[in-house]
Amino acid sequence: MTNNDARTLKLPLSFLQKGKKYTARIYSDDSTVKTATKVKVETKKVDASTILNVSLLPSGGQAIWIKPETK
């Protein structure tokens, strides 16, 4: 979450286990989304070397759910 100011953060995922692949589901504020909540949902493949660019709107936030990939 953020305060009244928008901001962009770099979020390294180095805490993830090296050598494993993960799927990140990212929920973020987006006024262009055609839903009542105005929340965009993206899915990305990530690993321990990934650095996510997190853009937070004023008084906004993001949620990121990361789970291991299954074969």
Q: What is the pLDDT of residues 37-47, one digit of tens each?
A: 999 999 999 99
| Total of domains in the chain | 1
Q: Where are the beta strands (DSSP E) in the chain?
A: 7-12, 22-29, 39-46, 51-56, 62-68
CATH value at residue 54: 2.60.40.1180
Q: Can you tell me the distance from the alpha carbon of 30 to that of 39, in angstroms, rounded to the nearest whole number?
A: 6
Q: How much is the pLDDT for 65? A: 98
Query: Is the pLDDT assigned to residue 71 strictly greater than 80?
Result: no
pTM of the model: 0.85
CA distance 2 to 5: 7
The whole domain housing 47 covers: 7-68
Average pLDDT, rounded, for the chain? 93
CA distances from 34 to 16, 22, 24, 27 (A): 33, 28, 22, 14
Is residue 1 situated within a structural domain?
A: no
The identity of residue 48, as a single letter, is A
